[in-house]
Amino acid sequence: MAETNKDAPVADAAMAPYWEAARDGRLLLGHCRSCDRCYYYPRPLCPFCLGDETGWREASGAGTVYSWSVERRGKPPYIIAFVTLAEGPTILSNLVDCEPEAVAIGQHVTLAFETREEQPVPVFRPA
């Protein structure tokens, strides 16, 4: 049996539109038509009502830093952050293309994509 990366995501058919959009440089959020509310991470049943009247909303890409830390043990060190999107949800990501000394809570950031293990994922850089 071939060795597998135990942390590699298992394919989830319901999430295929999310990953297809990521390859186009677009970030999709879950959206519940009953609640009229966006949520993240996406899932087919709404985390606020467990209803299945759900779909997708594309994020504008605008956000602000909610909190952040520099992982000094990283080689190289990297910035992890919670970013609050203009659409409401706060999501975990990395801040890129900026020095730790320049980061502040409330700072405006904008969406970008970086490829991690052959998969484009949403990161943020200073706006």
Partner 1 sequence: MSIKGKAFIAGIYEHPTRKAEGISLQQLHAEVARGALADAGLTLADVDAYFCAGDAPGLGGFSMAEYLGLNVRHTDTTETGGSSYLIHVSHAAQAIAAGKCKVALITLAGKPRTGGAPPGRPPMAVQPPDLPFEAPFKPTVLNNYAMCARRHMHEFGTTSEQLAWIKVAASQHAQHNPHAMLRDVVTVEDVVNSPVVADPLHRLDCCVVSDGGGALVVVAPEIAASLARPQVRVIGAGEAIKHTNGGDIDITYSAGVWSAARAFDEAGIARSDIKYASLYDSFTITVLMQLEDIGFCAKGEGGRFVADGGLISGVGRLPFNTDGGGLCNNHPGNRGGMTKILEAVRQLRGEAHPAVQVANCDLALAHGTGGYLGTRHGSATLILERV
Binding footprint of partner 1 on the chain (CB under 8 A) = 7, 9-10, 12, 15, 29-30, 37-43, 46-48, 66-74, 78, 80-82, 85, 88-94, 100, 105, 116-117, 119, 121, 123
Backbone Cα Rg of the chain = 16
Q: Classify strands 28-32 and 62-71 as parallel, antiparallel or unpaired.
A: unpaired
User: Least distance to partner 1 from the beta carbon of 126, Å?
Assistant: 17
Using the structure block, give the residue that is written with the tokens 């959009």.
21
Q: Could you tell me which residues come within 8 angstroms of residue 90 by beta carbon, excluding any fewer than 6 positions away?
A: 40, 66, 82, 83, 84
Which residue, 78 or 126, has its beta carbon nearer to partner 1?
78
Q: Could you tell me which residues come within 8 angstroms of residue 89 by beta carbon, excluding any fewer than 6 positions away?
A: 29, 38, 39, 40
Which residue, 121 or 126, has its beta carbon nearer to partner 1?
121
User: Least distance to partner 1 from the beta carbon of 2, Å?
Assistant: 18
Which residue, 89 or 111, has its beta carbon nearer to partner 1?
89
User: Least distance to partner 1 from the beta carbon of 90, Å?
Assistant: 5
Nearest-10 Cα torsion for 10, 13, 17, 23: 40
User: Least distance to partner 1 from the beta carbon of 29, Å?
Assistant: 8
